[in-house]
Structure 1
Amino acid sequence: MSILVTGGLGFIGSHTVAALREQGQECVLVQRRAGGAHAGDGVAVEQADIRDLASLRAVGERHRITGIVHLAGSMPWPPNADAPVEDARRALGSLFNIMQVAQEWGVRRVGLASTIGVYVSSGLTEGALTEDMLLSLGAAHPIPTFKKVGELLGGYLADATGIEVVNYRISGTWGPRGHRDPFFAAPALVHAAARGTAPDFSDLIAPPHAEDALDLCYVKDTGRAIALLQLADKLNHATYNVASGRATSNAEIIAAIRAAVPDAGVDLPTGDGTAPRAWLDITRLHGDTGFTPEYDTTRATADYITWLRAGNER
């Protein structure tokens, strides 16, 4: 019996698979291109395109899939300006395909990746953000747009099929195998410290300041939280914040960097004092799974710097 993890070779997915394996769970990962991936003992890598129902069904013929963690392909990203309608059709089609095979295979629980952006795009940017807050339907960015759509579709399909669908509202996640994020500066700051260079903030949507803060969750904690949600005997809710449960400022990241690399040139200017400070409340997550973050800012920063200095590019 195995858990199917879409996006299992990616950033959050690879750490989720590692956490599932630590719990003794076998995993099946899918990738569109054949060959080239070795994920370790207890992990099978199959060639399949989640946008193609027949190839997904074939995976179920070779493995007994009992659960699905769907972390890939439910939004058109990066957007394709030349074919936006087809892009959106493929993105939503992958979700429908996942739910179709889940029903055919008798899967009990499907987890769907959502985002902290469903709160931010609803104007909720201060204090503790809880899963029962009312969200607006609108969003200016395609990521929260499609995550909101996915949550609504997931709820409908859960009721229609009897499959338990769990939304993971994932906070700002950073760490090994990560990417240059447009929304927060922590990865750029750590990369600069590890390499002895000036930080490159060219990918950020706005210039960063020292007091800018966000709920930052180290990716190893994110993966463990998702694994716990997938494996829990009973969940009392359909939506969970997957986060650290606290706001971390750039100033805190810089202090942690200096503890590991005292001469790092990672200063940031102070802003005008109007930066929002919000975090995701993880009371539900802790209550139903026992999850508590293992990585505080200092430990996470040191671990990531060690990873990068070992020769890893990201």
Structure 2
Amino acid sequence: MILVTGGLGFIGSHTVRALLDLGESCVLVQRRTRELPADLAGRRATIEQADITDLNAFLDIGKRHQITGILHLAGSMPWPPDPQQPIEAARKALDGLFNVFQAAHEWNVDRVGVASTIGVYGGVTGDGPLGEDMPLSMASAHLIPTFKKIGELLNGHLADATGIDVVNYRISATWGPRDPHGALFFAAPELVHAAARGTEPNLSTLPGPAHAEDSIDMCYVKDTARAIALLQLADRLDHRTYNVASGRATTNAEIITAIKQLVPDAKVELPTGGDPRQSYLDITRLQRDTGYKPEYDTERSVADYIAWLRAGNAH
């Protein structure tokens, strides 16, 4: 049984479904609810209400379930930031990560997978693929990649010190059904939402203006989830860190073209003048060790997401 922190979150909920589809059973750890979604009822999934920063409550889960692996997808970072108590917020975030390892050590789990982010590559310049062994900048422009870099270093230390099999999942820009973030770092989710709503996109939440040429490694959430599930269940992994991504750069222009094929009158045009350079995550390691191949190209992703939104789902 795989314990999944953040199992009802955006990536977590899809990953639980991917694990179940592969024949695994799951226990979802959530801080605020004890209710399983209707589509998980009757499947090999259960939910435990607990805060991972409460060590005793977290360890008690192991008394009720035979946990064989842990997928830590809840954010071990102070997000959203707490300007009133920044030190306490940072301490609490890292406590959650330490508690996951404490539980893994006491439960003798087979593997701990920990979510990292494409953001750790921030500061790496140039075009082309970004590989897991590339040197990373010590600086970071945002607290999320800051804490993910800290987490990867702590994970490596604790793996060596305890002998736990620990794997970092550097997740690319993930989007699709149940995404609550919208245009937080890239424009595609809001472009699709605007097309489904019949409105103009609101891209004011982006860190800067969006252009047609702007690109990023964009992975549809169902592919992201399946890749994580394959890594978690693999009999053997030869590395400690894996890029979880599409393995290609997708431009806003490609997203707009796919949208227009389905919604010709969508008001989703963007100006030109963006950065033409394209970088993306190298997924050779992931493919070699798990057999993973992305199933959702740009057109299929856009079609699936628009259908989901038009079915009455809020995000």
| TM-score band, normalised by shorter chain | over 0.9
> Counterparts of 2:183 and 2:160 in 1: how far apart (Å)?
35
Query: Is 2:167 the counterpart of 1:166?
Result: yes
Which AA in structure 2 matches 1:95? Answer: L
- Whole-Å separation in 2 of the counterparts to 1:33 and 1:144: 25
Q: Does 1:18 align with 2:20?
A: no
How many angstroms does 1:274 deviate by? 3.3
Q: Find 1:239's aligned residue among 231, 238, 241.
A: 241
Change beyond 3 A, Cα 1:34–1:10:
closer
Counterpart CA distance in 1 for 2:87 and 2:309 is 39
Q: Which amino acid aligns with 1:33?
A: R
The answer to whether the Cα contact below 8 Å between 1:109 and 1:165 also exists between their aligned partners in 2 is yes
Deviates more, 1:132-141 or 1:214-223: 132-141
Q: Which residue of 1 aligns with 2:308?
A: 307
Residue of structure 2 equivalent to 1:143: 144
- Partner secondary structure for residue 65 of structure 1: coil
State the one-letter code of the partner of 2:117.
T
Amino acid in structure 2 at the alignment position of 1:292: K
> What is the match of residue 33 of structure 1?
32
3-state SS, counterpart of residue 44 of structure 1: strand
SS in 1 for 2:68: strand
Contact 2:36 2:46 in 1 (8 A): no
Structure 1 residue 28, shift from structure 2 partner: 0.4
Give yes or no for contact 1:191–1:199 (8 Å, CA) kept in 2: yes
- Offset of 1:123 from its aligned partner? 2.8
CA distance in 1, matches of 2:21, 2:166: 23
What letter corresponds to residue 97 of structure 1 in structure 2?
N
Deviation at 1:3, TM superposition (A): 0.1
How big is the shift at 1:163? 0.5
Report 1:118-133 matches (<5 A).
118-120=120-122, 122-124=123-125, 126-133=127-134
Structure 1: tracts of 5 or more residues without a match = none
Q: Is the 8 A contact 2:192 2:302 kept in 1?
A: yes
- Once residues 125 and 5 of structure 1 are traced to their aligned partners in structure 2, the CA distance between those partners, rounded to angstroms, is 36
Q: Does 1:53 align with 2:55?
A: yes
On the 8 A contact 1:119/1:125 being kept in 2, the answer is: no
Instruction: Specify the alignment match of 2:290 in structure 1.
Output: 289
Deviations 1:16-71 (A, max 9, x none): 00100000100000111243433431110001110010111111110000000101
Q: Secondary structure at the match of 2:238?
A: coil
Out of 131-140 and 34-43, give the one that drifted further: 34-43
What CA distance in whole angstroms lies between the structure 2 residues aligned with 1:169 and 1:181? Answer: 20
Residues of 1 paired with 2:125 and 2:17: CA distance?
33
- 1:181 aligned residue (175, 183, 186): 183
Greater mean alpha carbon deviation, residues 255-264 or residues 30-39: 30-39
CA RMSD of aligned residues (A): 1.0
The residue aligned with 1:196 is 198
What CA distance in whole angstroms lies between the structure 1 residues aligned with 2:137 and 2:73?
23
Between the aligned partners of 2:258 and 2:221, the Cα distance in structure 1 is 17
TM-superposed deviation, 1:127: 1.3
8 Å contact from structure 2 (residues 173, 219) kept in 1 = yes
Which residue does 1:260 correspond to in 2? 262
Structure 2 distance, partners of 1:274, 1:251, is 12
Q: Secondary structure at the match of 2:286?
A: helix
TM-score for the superposition, normalised by structure 1: 0.97
Distance in structure 1 (CA, Å) of the matches to 2:262 and 2:44: 35
Moved over 4 A (4+): none
Task: Quickly say closer, same or farther: Cα 1:161–1:144, change in 2 above 3 A.
Answer: same
Taking the TM superposition and a 5 Å limit, the aligned residue runs for 1:212-251 are 212-251=214-253
Q: CA deviation at 1:275?
A: 4.2
Whether the 8 Å contact between 1:7 and 1:30 is mirrored in structure 2 is yes
3-state secondary structure, aligned to 1:146 = helix
| Partner residue, 2:74 | 72
- Number of residue pairs the alignment of both structures matches: 311
SS at match of 1:169: strand
The unaligned stretches of length 5 or more in structure 2 are: none
